[in-house]
Amino acid sequence: QKSTKGSVVLGYVFRHLNLVEIDYFGLRYCDRSHQTYWLDPAKTLSEHKELINTGPPYTLYFGIKFYAEDPCKLKEEITRYQFFLQVKQDVLQGRLPCPANTAAQLGAYIIQSELGDYDPYKHTAGYVSEYRFVPDQKEELEDAIERIHKTLIVTTPVSETNYLGVAKSLEMYGVDLHPVYGENKSEYFLGLTPVGVVVYKNKKQVGKYFWPRITKVHFKETQFELRVLGKDCNETSFFFEARNKITCKNLWKCCVEHHTFFRVPENESNSLPRKFSKFGSIGYKHRYSGRTSLQMTRDPSVQLPRHDQCIERSRSKTYPKRTQQTGSKNMSQITLNRENEGTTKIIAPSPVKRY
């Protein structure tokens, strides 16, 4: 029903997926202009105007809202599996770029999780080409993945954890990008991360502000303000322009939620004066109502991991093998289908808008 709260819808999804470490995840939707938003647990479906204007039917995508700084330390295997699915899709769709050697290592862990140990009788020439790992995948990468796969002897859960262990070190891991404009209409991206806000220009990092030193975020119409406390204890405001008021407010909401989720309590951080460690004097009603990252790791009410869990994994979509051309050492090109894997299945992570 349109009067149903977002928290009820989220509850159905979390029960269906048998997730307990739920605060890392959310449901995302797109408006008619393809701007993405997170379903607000505190609001009814009818209060999500951008969603209501798209249907019926209404489409929401499950995925990671807050990327754990170290996903290998998540308590339950099923939570790590959902992170594995999302990060794998981030790499495949180009949101998480990685160098060739890292892509080969990640691809080998995917193959190991799908097929197990290398078997020359089962895994015939070209078997790696049946899977997709990165945009514009080349044969050289597939050969490198096969070489690494032959050296692996680990179980599927270990392969997934190893995958996350490598992926978390990539520069763009867990970065939620928002396009903005600076002086003279120059294009920037603000990236919300587990440790703070990163500023990018021309795909290069030009600024990084840690959550404990961000004393205020504010928006008015299309102007977004980020106020930062310097080492000299003086505050500096940085101003950016968003495309419109709606995207500016969405950036502000995401920033508030990221800060609240990843913040360190006052009594555990002596790096800042008490008066600067509060983030709440923003002047707007929106507040993050879930558990913080620290609360989740210390919650004594739920004993994790649960025993005797049965995790149902889904197989990745496969494609025809590369075939060798007659009289040529070059391999024929295969059209790379970059469709969102399993978008019709509730287990698939959410697509995130690419800018």
Structure confidence by residue, pLDDT tens digits, 229-268:
988 889 999 999 999 999 999 999 999 999 999 976 544 4
According to the model, what pLDDT value does residue 147 have? 97
**In the block, residue with structure tokens 């990165």:** 134
According to the model, what pLDDT value does residue 303 have? 78
Is residue 327 over pLDDT 80?
Answer: no
According to the model, what pLDDT value does residue 331 have? 39
Q: What is the pLDDT of residues 281-317, one digit of tens each?
A: 344 555 666 787 877 777 766 678 888 888 999 999 9
Higher pLDDT, 120 or 277: 120
Going by C-alpha positions, the residue among 167, 169, 156 that lies closest to residue 110 is: 156
Q: What is the pLDDT of residues 156-178, one digit of tens each?
A: 999 999 999 999 999 999 999 99
Cα–Cα distance between 323 and 292 in angstroms, integer?
Answer: 50
Domain boundaries along the sequence of the chain: 1-66, 68-173, 176-266+278-298
- CA geometry: angle at 15 spanning 12 and 17, to 5°? 110
According to DSSP, the β-strands at 25-30 and 36-38 are: antiparallel
Higher pLDDT, 184 or 87: 87
Is residue 225 over pLDDT 90?
Answer: yes
According to the model, what pLDDT value does residue 300 have? 67
User: Is there a contact between 129 and 336 (Cβ–Cβ < 8 Å)?
Assistant: no
Q: What fold characterizes domain 68-173?
A: Acyl-CoA Binding Protein (1.20.80)
- φ, ψ of residue 268 in degrees (nearest 5): -115, 0
Q: Would you say the C-alpha torsion 295, 7, 14, 59 has a positive or negative sign?
A: negative
As a CATH number, domain 1-66 is 3.10.20.90
As a CATH number, domain 176-266+278-298 is 2.30.29.30
Is residue 118 over pLDDT 60?
Answer: yes
User: Is there a contact between 78 and 309 (Cβ–Cβ < 8 Å)?
Assistant: yes
Per-residue pLDDT band at 324 (split at 50, 70, 90): low
Going by C-alpha positions, the residue among 17, 59, 24, 9 that lies closest to residue 340 is: 59
- Specify the pTM: 0.85
According to the model, what pLDDT value does residue 12 have? 97
What is the average pLDDT value for the chain, to the nearest integer?
A: 85
Is residue 114 over pLDDT 50?
Answer: yes
According to the model, what pLDDT value does residue 42 have? 92
According to the model, what pLDDT value does residue 285 have? 55
Is residue 56 over pLDDT 50?
Answer: yes
